[in-house]
Structure 1
Amino acid sequence: MKKLALFDLDHTLLPIDSDYEWGQFLVRTGAVDAAEYQRRNDQFFAQYQAGTLDPVEYLEFALGTLARFPRRELDAMHRQYMAEVVHPAIRPKAVELVQRHLDAGDLVAIITATNRFVTAPIAHAFGVEHLIAAQPEEDEHGNLTGKLAGTPTQGQGKVEHMHAWLGRLGTPFDSFASSHFYSDSHNDLPLLSVVSHPVATNPSDRLKQHATAQGWPLLLLFND
């Protein structure tokens, strides 16, 4: 029977928050008003860390920023972002962990609350075909409208989106011999609690405390 391996992205496979750093990149390159964007981005990031973030409010703030630019320009900006921010942040231990699951023939996916525009090239950089992420709405020309298509991929939403994705593949969750989920965040407790092998990866203090109480393994990928 096939095995399932799921990975959160930010602070799990990457030692950065890709969404927050995308915002910092926009500020640094002058693509947005620095003072206002910095204020809102920092505010949302603090809410995320505290577990109080309204995911729709945040996503439509972030997607509204993306909607200001034609898709061709956005894609060029993202290539620069990957070269300057993401690729230098990727750690060998994270790449090796993903590759072990791929080499074993496991079904591998990255599942993240960050939107697909930001994260699809990052998943590709890790060699992962399947990505479950917040879906930006697009117009008929492929430009982003600033709205969220569907529901957020956060908290319990990750569980729901995982089941929907596996349903589309024709491989229901209970058909796997085992399932791993690697995450750093207590926000991911709903999905960590349903897989057979939850792994607290570079865990926050809150997740570390919970994982220790549950006897879950702890994994550090960024201590090299």
Structure 2
Amino acid sequence: MTLAIFDLDNTLLSGDSDYEWGRFLVELGVVDAETYEAANRAFYEQYKAGTLDIREFCRFAFRPLASHDLATLEGWRSRFLAERVEPLVLPAAEALLARHRDDGDTLMIITATNRFITAPIAERLGVPHLLATEPELRDGRYTGELAGVPCFQEGKVLRLETWLKEHGETLAGSWFYSDSHNDIPLLERVDHPVVVDGDVKLTDHAQEKGWPMISLRYV
């Protein structure tokens, strides 16, 4: 089995689904607009700078999940997917997924964004395997706590290693596509690292390493 692994936000999507979900909650009026939007933006800037405390962010991001019942959350999510995520889907990204699918590769999305948001996006893109940050779900309701290792930076490597062991697979011949310098630890581990519309830090690193760089936005 050859794995073709993809980051989600700003790679397969032309935006960040986690950040957009926060903005969507503000627009719904279910969180305090001023304080939540300011915190959401600050965390996003920390992510881009590589200084994000992922556990602190999870406590922030999971609070609205814990404050509402699952049926309400799922209703909001359906609207969010149609109104905010669908316009972010890149035709070139879908073509890239199709090419790997036609080559017989096993498709996986690996993302720091939590599973509540990303599971239906992976399904929409036809990607059967998803590794994402896991919000704890107990008795049909989110607790606001993090379950397991967050799928971020080195955590992506740890989560993938666990998945490989569980499935008796290796990274032989593997691909990984990402835009973010936060993913350098995993890009270093695969046979075929590919930078997609990379940020400045990742682009500089890729040039030093001789990694290929592509765009799924400007094609």
Q: Which runs of 5+ in 1 are unaligned?
A: none
Superposed, 1:144-163 pairs within 5 Å as: 144-163=142-161
1:168 corresponding residue in structure 2: 166
* SS of residue paired to 1:12: helix
Give the alignment of 1:62-141 within 5 angstroms. 62-140=61-139
Unaligned runs of 5+ in 2: none
Residue type of the alignment partner of 1:158 = K
- Give the counterpart of 2:184 among 189, 207, 213: 189
Partner of 1:31: 30
1:11 partner SS: helix
Q: Distance in 2 between matches of 1:195 and 1:204?
A: 19
Q: Which amino acid aligns with 1:41?
A: N
1:52 equivalent in alignment to 2:47:
no
State the AA in 1 paired with 2:190.
V
Misfit runs of 4+, over 4 Å: none
TM-score with structure 2 setting the length: 0.98
**Scaled by the length of structure 1, what TM-score is found?**
0.95
The structural deviation recorded for 1:172 is: 3.2
Corresponding residue to 1:180 among 162, 171, 175: 175
| Cα shift at 1:170 | 2.0
1:213 aligned partner: 208
What SS does the corresponding residue of 1:52 show, helix, strand or coil?
coil
Three-state SS of the structure 2 residue aligned to 1:108 is strand
Deviations 1:168-211 (A, max 9, x none): 222233xx3x0100000111000000101000111001111110
Of stretches 162-171 and 5-14 in structure 1, the one that deviates more from structure 2 is 162-171
